[in-house]
Amino acid sequence: MDSVIVIGGGLGGFTVVQQLRGRGFAGAIAVVDPEGLPYDRPPLSKEFLAGGIDAEQLHFVEPHWFAERHVDVYAAAATAVDLPDPADDDGRAAVTLSDGGRLFADRVVFATGGRARTLPIPGGDLDSLFVLRTRADAEALRSGLRPGTRLALIGAGLIGAEAASAARGFGAEVTLIEPVDPPLVPAIGRELAERLHAMHTEAGIRVVTAAPVAIRASAGEHSIEFADGTVVSADVVLVGIGIEPETALAEAAGLDVDGGVLTDAGQRTSHPRVWAVGDCARPRYDDGTLGRRAEHWENAMHAGTAAAAAMLGQEPPAPTAPWFWSDRYGVHVEGVGDMSAGETTVTRADASGRVQAAFRLAPAGDGQRVVGAAAIDGGVAVRVARRLIDRGIAADPARLADSSVPYKQLLK
């Protein structure tokens, strides 16, 4: 292997580059992304939207990092990927760019991420609706937020909740539209989901528990219609209902795609010289069954590390329980593992009696083990839970719930 092209400048793509150089690869590396230098996405709905950090602070590293490590960054989109015959040991892939250029390499990494889902209703594809996937999206949304701005947020998942919190900081009048009450139960459990969802009302946000059936726009105003005849009027509308993996380029190149670019444990695709990482990738296990895509920051970093190791013939890191975090209204939320698995949930309260942590348990032999956990301002709880999950340590439900037992004692 003497050259690698990475298509995509998010965390997954950047981690591949960082790991290749860190693991001793001295060949040519090119990064292709229309936004240029790789940058971090999670702050877009948090500190960056709120104005707490600027665009330069989003970058993973200083611009000179790439030049010093002889990594070429192309601020263009990849429009086509032509792959060599897998049996041709000397064949090279060709990547065509939106500026007309072509790049050649013997390895390609797809780190193309995902695109925002569109509401499947009349008006759901209006150009005036905002989404939040890129730096430009966040800048455009922020420019419309000021005291009195009527903002409607459709979707109360992680991004929607974070954007609602940031918008209130600008003095905007926020309406949060979400048909599920409370949202995020599969991610953090019902007890914590109810506490978090209540924070919206406490922050002065109007919550509408229903699904819109149409959106109309006229003279700069949006009317969001519901089945019962209710109408929500808004100056600005942000749609945050999840993403679809960006797989068109990979599919056109002939890779196996099914709800994501299919990969093995080393992030290898169906072509022996192509890898895929991050939101665009979906695991395919040795028995042919398909896993779920994990749209979290740490998963992208782990996948990038695994891909770099596999390309160099090195052992990929052992998988760990998936972890995520979110910030809103001055609190920090973390989750690890799978809160939708298992059979029972055990909670632990904080000093004020509010639920602070939740642990999801599944039977294991004669006892039980933790398969998921989440906490509000409880990072230690989640870190301990992660060790319990990764090590398969038996858990005592009574001790998990007992706030007098230090979390670290649960490991003994």
pLDDT in tens, 56-91: 999 999 999 999 999 999 999 999 999 999 988 889
* Type of residue found at 283: P
Long-range contacts, stretch 135-144, CB < 8 angstroms, 24+ apart: 135/35, 135/39, 135/44, 135/48, 135/55, 135/58, 136/35, 137/44, 138/44, 138/45, 138/48, 138/49, 139/55, 141/49, 141/236, 141/238, 142/49, 142/51, 142/170, 144/235, 144/236
pLDDT the model gives residue 158: 92
**Mean pLDDT to the nearest integer, 251-274:** 97
pLDDT the model gives residue 296: 87
Model pTM?
0.92
pLDDT the model gives residue 342: 85
Domain with CATH 3.50.50.60 in the chain: 3-115+243-312, 118-239
pLDDT the model gives residue 319: 84
Are 398 and 406 spatial neighbours (Cβ–Cβ below 8 Å)? no
Q: Is the confidence at residue 159, as pLDDT, over 90?
A: yes
pLDDT class of 366 with cuts at 50, 70, 90? confident
Q: What DSSP state is assigned to residue 39?
A: B
pLDDT class of 236 with cuts at 50, 70, 90? very high
DSSP 3-state of 172: coil
Residue 235 in tokens: 């100056």
Residue 114 in tokens: 């995902």
Q: Is the confidence at residue 140, as pLDDT, over 90?
A: yes
Between CA 386 and CA 390 the distance in angstroms is 6
Q: Is the confidence at residue 400, as pLDDT, over 90?
A: yes
Q: Is the confidence at residue 275, as pLDDT, over 90?
A: yes
Q: Is the confidence at residue 12, as pLDDT, over 90?
A: yes
**Cis amide linkage into residue 86, ω under 30° from 0:** no
DSSP 3-state of 140: helix
Domain with CATH 3.30.390.30 in the chain: 330-409
The CATH number, out of the four listed (3.30.390.30, 3.40.50.10880, 3.50.50.60, 3.30.70.120), of the domain defined by the range 330-409:
3.30.390.30
Work out the percent of the chain whose per-residue pLDDT is above 90. 93
Cα distances (angstroms) measured from residue 359 to each of 175, 353, 374, 403, 411: 31, 17, 7, 13, 14
Under CATH, what is the fold of the domain 3-115+243-312? FAD/NAD(P)-binding domain (3.50.50)
Q: Which CATH superfamily is domain 118-239 in?
A: FAD/NAD(P)-binding domain (3.50.50.60)
pLDDT the model gives residue 317: 85
pLDDT in tens, 194-235: 999 999 999 999 999 999 999 999 988 999 999 999 999 999
Cα torsion 131, 76, 294, 410: sign: negative
Work out the percent of the chain whose per-residue pLDDT is above 70. 100
**Mean pLDDT to the nearest integer, 320-331:** 92
pLDDT class of 112 with cuts at 50, 70, 90? very high
pLDDT class of 129 with cuts at 50, 70, 90? very high
Q: pLDDT averaged over the chain? A: 95
pLDDT the model gives residue 412: 79
